[in-house]
Chains A and B, each alone.
Chain A
């Protein structure tokens, strides 16, 4: 199987070779031409091919060498050396070229078994070898041999003698098998097997299998030494002017316009044709680019430092000639930094950062501000503090809280030294917010208090308004509405006096959140208002925060339709603007929403986005681990306890009920499903009093149900949300209906556990089997046998068999979308899943329909009437 993993996307080439060999075997010799760029996998393909046919064919294998003066007939010498016999004898005896060719040809003409002759790397062939190719080529048809010729076609000149030799081969016996790079999907799949992140790998390697596998096999970051050596060996063969031009081009990432290269290169530009002829670079639409980004980096990385600076300075000067267009700012910064030109970096990088931030490229903005800071040692402290604040803000938006905290602390210290109390207070606000995301709640409160103390001593300004927003946010997160509301109101009044729309939007959001927590319907209107205001004025952070809070509260309050709409919209909004912090937050809550509403497969994907990302904030890890642990619990999968243990440790540190209640409820459910009812009651009881103090019916309900099921003393039903209140009063049927109405199939089914009605339990069992909720289903089965019911269905029925090609309902939906010609991105948006999920579905569809492409899938679906309504298909 190891071979199958290394040879991806070469099935059609293998079968073409096999087809040629079969013709040869029947007495009609064939020639296969296998070509592509260096590292494309020519040898790997032929190794696999010859191994597959080793038993039924004689193998002759020879290669040309990259010697500055090639050995005459090197491939044939290889063959003779390994074969011995008559051929070797003639060569040793110094026979004429014709006699040697004839001897080899006789060898090939022996009818059985047929022969495979591989001659590799013909781009390095000497003239005699090319003659051999012509000699064999003309006679191939009369043998039972397959002649396989390989060469590199990257940068092969139009007048290369090989071209003429190939052109003379008899066309009817030739099969051309060009090799191309791997697809992005294949690169991703190789990465998954190696457990490595493949982001950007396809782009850097153009799918070249040699580069891809070397990068995946290398532990160190950067260009693997094997790749570097291969690239440098090729560059070393260039004449000096071409080599110099190559080095100059290497300091420009991705592609360099010819006009720019010409200005920067001066005289050496004349070596362009020679450089292109080497195949290291290629020309495309008025710009040259390295054929592989990795090759560019290999050259750039090995430039001596001073030489690198000089080349960057030349590019920078050439760019300056064209003027400072904002779209070119990032390039200017790159080359200014490369040239070690601190003055230019400091002039350009901050504007580049602001430009990127406005465009919603926050990671790039952060990189520009960091770049400026690296050159900022001689700046006045005030300017440095401003840069630190700008960087901290971008870190905050992109969920890099610890980096943000570091920058912000440094800025705060500078402002304190300068004596600017307002800016210092502002930094304290940000420190408070970012500390909260790292689950350091107490620290967040300390910074928040300090901010207010600092700013209240000054005349009221936007900093103070923001400090009140921060405090309101902290109280709201702690579900302390009565304390949150006055702070939010103060912030709102001051923001309106100052005419500051952004702070007004934040304040409305906090005020709304607190009102909803207190059960006041007006709160929803307030957050909607905050969202409207933010969108109207293009306030990215405020809008993202409004989406996130609205979505979170809607999930908590079981307003599932609202939650689904807001979270989908919010994720799309934040994704477009690269607001990582918000995207992550909303993925966590959508995972929880989907866990509640029976969309478990999608829930797991949302949660896995976050859990698999070690860099995300502690708070998000906690918020994703909780639904993940809950789903493992409900499906009876391993790792449930581990996920919930880790979540518990984080929740204790955070200490807020919004996160504590779901963790404790999930842990109680796990214990109950394992048969430990008392343990479940004890687990839920641990936080029930705190939950009751918030007065939030769903917090109380989520815990109360387990206390009640575990035989503990539950709180009064009146304090619980409606379905649980009904359960506690013994009305399981009404409870189940209520859960059903809310769109919670799992909880509706589980409510029937307390029923004495075998029919109700039976249909509940069907729901749980459908969800693959094994432990819950097992509890219901036991309940049925306690009631003396016989003939209990033993397990999930094989429902999937009904589709003629075994497509799942979801796959059928994707197939329908494919028939409309939608892209994966469009399908993802339509079905509310990630493009990666769509990709999975598409590959499942291709496998099940046994077709190679999307187009073929749609054609086959049409032919088999799969795109018609289901009723029609049943007929």
Chain B
């Protein structure tokens, strides 16, 4: 399955509460993703919390957009990516 890097902007800053409501939010996101066969691998969040870089496994960019819409998450850019690490040539 292709892997995608999804860039998102949060002009007012991203807030995910560190309590049960945050957990509920994350679980809802995962459930929504599941409906389209989309897996959220993990995300990097900028220090000022205005941008996120989210790694996803998904069948197509359309599936990424569909789940983003269901989760009310913005999408700036979707890039298909592969892993390259320092041990690539060993």
Contacts and interface: CB of A to CB of B under 8 A. Distances in A.
Q: Report if A and B associate in a common complex.
A: yes
Interface of A: 1, 4-5, 188-189, 192-193, 195, 601, 604, 608, 628, 632, 635-639, 772, 774, 795-798, 800-801, 806, 808, 840, 843-844, 847-848
A664 B61 CA distance: 22
A63 to B, nearest CB: 31
A796 B74 contact: yes
B77 interface: yes
B4 A4 contact: no
A657 B89 CA distance: 47
Contacts of A847: 28, 32, 70
A187 to B, nearest CB: 12
A129 B35 CA distance: 44
B15 to A, nearest CB: 13
Contacts of B80: 638-639
A475 B22 CA distance: 62
B30 A638 contact: no
A636 B74 CA distance: 15
20 contacts: A1-B30, A4-B27, A189-B35, A193-B34, A193-B37, A601-B65, A628-B62, A632-B61, A637-B61, A637-B78, A638-B4, A639-B60, A774-B77, A796-B76, A798-B12, A798-B74, A840-B70, A843-B70, A844-B70, A847-B70
Contacts of B11: 797-798
Q: How large is the interface on B (under 10, 10 to 19, 20 to 34, 35 or more residues)?
A: 20 to 34
B78 A4 contact: no
Given A195-B59, A637-B78, A844 B32 contact: yes
B79 A188 contact: no
B2 to A, nearest CB: 8
A772 B75 CA distance: 8
B30 A189 contact: no
Interface of B is mostly: mixed
Interface of B: 1-2, 4, 9, 11-12, 27-28, 30-32, 34-37, 59-62, 65-66, 69-72, 74-80
B37 to A, nearest CB: 5
Contacts of B1: 195
B37 A195 contact: yes
Contact of B62 (A604, A798, A801): A604
Nearest to B12: A798
Nearest to B30: A1
Contact of A848 (B35, B72, B76): B72
Nearest to B64: A637
Closest 9 CB pairs between A and B? A638-B80, A637-B61, A192-B37, A844-B70, A604-B62, A847-B28, A806-B72, A193-B34, A637-B78
A120 B75 CA distance: 49
Nearest to B63: A608
Contact of A808 (B28, B34, B36, B69): B69
A604 B72 CA distance: 18
Given A796-B74, A808-B72, A840 B35 contact: yes
Contacts of A4: 27, 30
B9 A636 contact: no
A801 B34 CA distance: 25
Contacts of A608: 60, 62
Contacts of A193: 34, 37
A639 B12 CA distance: 31
A798 B37 CA distance: 27
Contacts of A635: 61, 65
A637 B34 CA distance: 21
A637 B58 CA distance: 13
B46 to A, nearest CB: 15
Nearest to A601: B69
Contacts of A796: 74, 76
Contact of B61 (A188, A638, A798): A638
Nearest to B28: A847
A191 to B, nearest CB: 9
Contacts of B76: 774, 795-796
Nearest to B72: A806
Contacts of B74: 796, 798
A192 B34 contact: yes
Contacts of A632: 61
A695 to B, nearest CB: 36
Contacts of A637: 61-62, 65, 78
A101 to B, nearest CB: 40
B38 to A, nearest CB: 9
Contacts of A188: 35
With a 10 A CB-CB cut-off, give which of B2, B32, B35 has the most chain A CB atoms.
B35
Contacts of A772: 75
Contacts of A801: 12
Contact of B31 (A189, A601, A628): A189
A123 to B, nearest CB: 33
A797 B78 CA distance: 18
Nearest to B67: A840
Contacts of A628: 62
A171 to B, nearest CB: 32
A227 B19 CA distance: 41
A269 B57 CA distance: 55
Contacts of B70: 840, 843-844, 847
B35 A843 contact: yes
Contacts of B69: 601, 808, 844
Contacts of A1: 30
Contacts of A808: 69, 72
Contacts of B32: 843-844, 847
A246 B75 CA distance: 56
A636 B35 contact: no
B64 to A, nearest CB: 8
Given A774-B77, A796-B74, A189 B60 contact: no
Nearest to A846: B28
A795 B60 contact: no
A508 B66 CA distance: 42
Given A195-B37, A840-B70, A843-B70, 9 more contacts: A188-B35, A192-B37, A635-B61, A637-B61, A637-B65, A774-B77, A798-B12, A808-B69, A840-B35
A635 B60 CA distance: 14
A190 to B, nearest CB: 8
